[in-house]
Every structure is written in structure tokens, then in C-alpha cells.
Amino acid sequence: MSVPIGLQLYTLRDALAVDFEGVIRQVAAQGYVGVESANAAYVSTTPKAAAKLFQELGLQVPSAHSDLPLDAKKNEVLDTMQILGCKDLVCPYIPAEEFVSEDRIKFHSERLNRADEIARANGMRLSYHNHWWEYRQQVNGRPAYKIMLEHVAPTVNFEVDTYWVKTGGYDPADIIREYGDRAPLLHIKDGSTDEKDPMVAVGDGVMDWASIITAGKPEWLIVELDRCATDMLEAVGRSYTYLTSKGYAHGR
């Protein structure tokens, strides 16, 4: 059975800064079931205004890339999640330079654990979204992601960015199986898997989607293109068409 398809709004950040409502209406018209929130999407609007538009268009907000709900950011983050009606809070990244020692990885893992406790206390789940460096970087002869996995609480989930896993030198299907039920959200992007190259519409690159999407039991497939050599909104539409026509995901 296919799962719903969403779009990470970071993908369209430039267009959203110019015409947020018009672009979101186009995303809804393409058939996307939901959108994944990102702070970079709200340059020309507010989460409150955006949530009203999402509701009008019937767009779900399953997850949000956000600051961690810690210290001075705690109330702001929790309030924004409530405004969006969103239950999956995602840490979008930890900088590559922080994956140079086990002590630094442990430090950030403990921050994730504290954020996870706060998220769960407020009826939410916390996930960590990877890039390529967690898999490529070796620390004491081991991949950094393995050390992170040892230090984060078992209730911390992972939003597996399948493209970046491949870029980091691993088979995304193997990583999804390794995480098991802790991988409810999958980021879907395509291209050459060279981090310097622009991305392409899903289905036009080298990713083996049949093996990746069947490797686990994702709750959402979320398209994200960081940059693209073609028109971004067109690539977003083509990605939707590919994933739904193959039966990997369903639209509205």
C-alpha cells in the first residue's frame, strides 16, 4: 500500500519568498497531500498565516524542520508546532564539523535526547535529518552515524534523507532496515549523488526507488530538492507524477 506524499517547503524557498500563497496553491493543485514546514519558507509570511492557508487547501503538515525546543527557543518552537498542527519535529542538521570526535557527537546526541523528552511530553515525536557527512565521516575508525546511534535515546527517530545516505557511501535501503520503526519519514530526492551537482526530478537520477521505498514502513514520502538545474516547481511536479504513477506514494 502506498503512503502519502509531501513536499519539504525548503525546496521552493526562493519562490515562496516572492509569492507564498500562489506557490502553495500550485503545490496543492499538483496533488501533494501535505507539506513539511521549514523556517526558511516563511520569509514573506508567518506560520500562523501559512497554517490558515494549508487548512483552506486541505494540506496536512505532518512534520516540521525546526530549532530544537530547548532553552530560550522552547516556547517558540512548541507554539509554532501547535499552530501548524504538526506532531513530528525534525532537527534539520548538525554541522559536519561537529562529527569530528565522539565527544562532540555525544554532546549533540544529549541535546537531541533532551529535546526528545520535551517533544514527547507535548505529544510530539523528534527525528534527526541526516546529510552525507554522518555516513562518510569516520571517527575512531567507525562511521559517525553509528556513534550517534549509540548515544541517542531509543525514542529518537530518524528522517532518512535517502539521497544523502547514498552520497555518503551507503545503500539507503540498508540504513532504513537498520533503523526499522525509527524511520517514519523518508526524504526523497534524486540526482548523481555527487554533493556538488544539482539535483533532478525524482526518477531522473540514479536512485533505486523500488528497493529504497520497500525497505521499511514509512508513514510519509517527502520530496526535497535542495537545488535543481531546471525549473524547481516543474521538477516538484514531475517528482510527484513519478512517485504516484509508480505506486510508491499517493496524492489527494
Q: How many domains does the chain have?
A: 1
Amino acid at 234: E
pTM attached to this predicted model: 0.97
Q: What is the pLDDT of residue 111?
A: 98
For the chain, the first-to-last Cα distance in angstroms comes to 15
Distance CA 179, CA 55 (A): 32
Banded pLDDT at 2 (limits 50, 70, 90) = confident
Q: What are phi and psi of 15, to 5 degrees?
A: -70, -35
Q: What is the pLDDT of residue 160?
A: 98
Banded pLDDT at 124 (limits 50, 70, 90) = very high
Q: pLDDT digits over 126-182, tens only?
A: 999 999 999 999 999 999 999 999 999 999 999 999 999 999 999 999 999 999 999
Distance CA 249, CA 183 (A): 16
Q: What is the pLDDT of residue 118?
A: 98
Q: Which residue intervals of the chain are DSSP H helices?
A: 13-18, 20-30, 47-57, 74-84, 102-121, 133-136, 144-151, 162-167, 172-179, 209-213, 232-245
Q: What is the pLDDT of residue 4?
A: 98
pLDDT at 252 over 80: yes
Q: pLDDT digits over 39-76, tens only?
A: 999 999 999 999 999 999 999 999 999 999 999 999 99
CATH number of the domain bearing residue 124: 3.20.20.150
CB 243 within 8 A of CB 28: no
Mean pLDDT of the chain: 97
Q: What is the average pLDDT across 189-218? A: 97
Percent of the chain scored above 70 by pLDDT?
A: 100
Q: What is the average pLDDT across 21-43? A: 97
Q: What is the pLDDT of residue 138?
A: 97
Q: What is the pLDDT of residue 92?
A: 98
Percent of the chain scored above 90 by pLDDT?
A: 99
| Domain limits for position 102 | 3-250
Q: What is the pLDDT of residue 162?
A: 98
Banded pLDDT at 1 (limits 50, 70, 90) = low
